[in-house]
Chain A
Amino acid sequence: MLEVRALNCERNDRLLFRDLSFTLEAGQALQVKGGNGSGKTTLLRIICGLNDSYSGELFWHGAPLGERRDAFYAGLLYIGHRVAVNRVLTPLENLRWSSRLRNPADDGPINEALVHIGLAGHEDSPCHSLSAGQYQRVSLARLFLRGAGLWVLDEPFTTLDTHGVTLLENLVTRHTESGGAVLITTHHKLSLPGLRALTLGVAR
């Protein structure tokens, strides 16, 4: 599905990683590990095309990623450090927009997703009134809504309670079992079957 070949990245004259290669196939989950400043977020942003200060090659289903950006974006769901949830809008309004950015969408599935993620009853309260964990859950509700093949999740666990962690782990498992792929950064110890790990920053 996704292949990274000989990736080098420098930031502010400091080498983050050199000659990094890995592949991510359908049905796999890959956890990117490493200490603070080891380049986990940078790696994810490079793969998503948000950062282009690198050398090396990226492939999407066998073809250079740069040549099929549209197909890649259509099959990508990225939830970054900053989760793209506007604070003055309600969860429902936020999800309406992020769904329609991709496809025409009805409120039905969005409401369902909010129930699944544990935000029932909060659909219409502005997001700034939610707790940090609930705020993060708004963004995670997107995982129910899009048939994206590749999930790229940057530290999705930071503010979640134990229940939320289990919920997300189950979601990831279900996604990989149904042929999706997941790229995830976290310091948590994940209990996922078949999880692979990539550790950055050990070479130095």
Chain B
Amino acid sequence: MAGRWQWFHRLGSPKWFYEKTTRWLPWLWGAMALFLTVGLVWALLFLPEDYQQGHTSRILVVHVAVAGTSLSFFPLMAVAGTVTLVWRMKLADMVAKNAAPLGAWFSFLTLATGSIWGSVSWGTWWEWTDSRLVSMLFQFFLLLGVISLRAAIENAETAARACALLSIVGCINVVVIKYSVDWWNTLHQPSSPISMEVGSPNGPEFWVATVVMIVAVYLFLAVSLILATRNEILQRESRAQWVRELALEAR
């Protein structure tokens, strides 16, 4: 076992993960606070007003960051699912289990921030001709499907593997949905008067703020996922010696 694959097997150990993340978490918290502060302050206070959209363009900084991050959930769950099915790694399922509700929240936030922005720029809260909103809506539905499947199956191991399989199928499906919805849209509305393109009118300062925000949101995702996974570890490993010792220490 020694050598190349050792890290991989160690990664499968909940205890190893718990101990490592205990050390990583303060750094992640710090980095997240830093990026979030810089990104938000920049976006809200220093970003110049857009000549067309006025102050509403500031919402986009958050919206784009959240939207970009929420796209990573199905790939993440599909990878974790593959690891669960092939190597039976329990940790992968603990991550996947918590990724699904988090992903649903992120998708919801994407839809919500998109709607808020749209209500000002497009004059409507919901616009079917924007393909990104529509495919995000269906990603949201698919994530709800994974969550309800998990909730419906009583046996934890069966639930883990069933959700793993569904995540892999769902990941392929999300890609197909995305392209077909894009196609559908360009056909329904060949020259869409309303578009969320955030290209040319916005200078580099907008993009830098967005990138900072994307990093901040990814860090937030990492922190939330790690915290949730640590909770899950403590619950599932509650009979293990090291968890008992941990509980005694905390007391």
Contact = CB atoms under 8 A, between A and B. Distances in A.
A53 to B, nearest CB: 6
Contacts of B239: 13
Nearest to B157: A53
Interface string B176-220: 000000000000000000000000000000000000000000000
Contacts of B157: 53
Interface residues on A, range: under 10
Interface residues of B, number: 3
Contacts of A12: 155
Contacts of B155: 12
Contacts of A53: 157
B189 to A, nearest CB: 51
Interface string B150-163: 00000101000000
Interface string A1-40: 0000000000011000000000000000000000000000
A53 B158 CA distance: 10
Nearest to B238: A13
Nearest to A11: B155
Interface string B222-251: 000000000000000001000000000000
Nearest to B154: A12
Interface string B41-82: 000000000000000000000000000000000000000000
B119 to A, nearest CB: 50
A7 B181 CA distance: 51
> Which 3 interchain pairs have the tightest Cβ spacing?
A53-B157, A13-B239, A12-B155
3 contacts: A12-B155, A13-B239, A53-B157
